[in-house]
Chains A and B, each alone.
Chain A
Amino acid sequence: EIVLTQSPATLSLSPGERATLSCRASQSVNYYLAWYQQKSGQAPRLLIYDVSTRATGIPARFTGSGSGTDFTLTISSLEPEDFAVYYCQQRSYWPPTFGPGTKVDIK
């Protein structure tokens, strides 16, 4: 099973600041890496798939990058609605696995 590690566990930032979230895989997942956002009490929402493709309706301030085992989600300028937990997920190997999440909270 592919293990995904996310860092940091918590990121405390102010609105307008840049957020950089990391996801590392225990072995190469090629480009089959996605990011999901989950707000408190809500279901997850797909943000990015295949490393860097934004899902329908996702604003351009969300950018995914990386390859192989190291991936990054960047939020260029945090909006109030962006404070949430972010999960990465790989689908390169069965079973699909998720990282433990990075919480982005308000500083």
Chain B
Amino acid sequence: DVHLVESGGGLVQPGGSLRLSCAASGFTFSSYSMHWVRQAPGKGLVWVSHIKSDGSIKTYADSLKGRFTISRDNAKNTLYLQMNSLRDEDTAVYYCARDDYRRLYLVDYWGQGTLVTVSS
């Protein structure tokens, strides 16, 4: 079974940084592109970032303006999201998600999410 387990969320002050991790199991992690998708409290889903299976291509939502960095360690089966200069509006549950390798940008499995709260 595919398992994606996020960690690293928590309370951070505006302007602060946080690094999220996603531990993957149950599939060959190095063969799949991965995503981060977020959901503000009571709101809808918003795509954040995508990384190709080998890490060679990374894309981001325009609204992030260079504050977030996606990365992966295929030897550790782990996906990361480094978030800097955090703002109140970054408060959300952050989901790690797997891309369907045959259909780019189709998410076929999601983790349970980790809550990031940006507040003073």
Instruction: Please pick, from B59, B103, B110, the residue contacting A44 in the complex, using a CB distance under 8 A.
Output: B110
Determine whether the beta carbon of B104 is less than 8 Å from that of A91. yes
CA distance A94 to B103 in the complex (A): 13
Determine whether the beta carbon of A43 is less than 8 Å from that of B110. yes
Contacts of A1-59 to chain B: CB distance below 8 A? 34, 36, 38, 42-46, 49-50, 55
The reply on B80 being an interface residue by CB < 8 A is no
Decide: A44 near B106, CB < 8 A? Known: A94-B59, A95-B61.
Answer: no
For residue A97, which residues in chain B have a CB less than 8 angstroms away from its CB? 47
The reply on B27 being an interface residue by CB < 8 A is no
Determine whether the beta carbon of A99 is less than 8 Å from that of B108. no
For residue B104, which residues in chain A have a CB less than 8 angstroms away from its CB? 91
For residue B105, which residues in chain A have a CB less than 8 angstroms away from its CB? 91, 94, 96
Chain A residues in the interface with B (C-beta under 8 A): 34, 36, 38, 42-46, 49-50, 55, 87, 89, 91, 94-101
Nearest-neighbour CB distance to chain B for A62, whole angstroms, equals 16
Chain B residues in the interface with A (C-beta under 8 A): 44-47, 59, 61-62, 95, 100, 103-113
- The secondary-structure label for the interface of chain A is loop
Residue of B44, B100, B109 with most chain A CB atoms under a 10 A cut-off: B44
Residue of A50, A87, A98, A99 with most chain B CB atoms under a 10 A cut-off: A98
Nearest-neighbour CB distance to chain B for A105, whole angstroms, equals 15
Decide: A45 near B59, CB < 8 A? Known: A91-B105, A97-B47.
Answer: no
Determine whether the beta carbon of A95 is less than 8 Å from that of B103. no
Determine whether the beta carbon of B62 is less than 8 Å from that of A49. no
Determine whether the beta carbon of A91 is less than 8 Å from that of B103. yes
CA distance A34 to B106 in the complex (A): 8
Determine whether the beta carbon of A44 is less than 8 Å from that of B45. yes
Q: Which residue in chain B gives the minimum CB-CB distance to A50?
A: B103
Nearest-neighbour CB distance to chain B for A45, whole angstroms, equals 7
Determine whether the beta carbon of B106 is less than 8 Å from that of A101. no
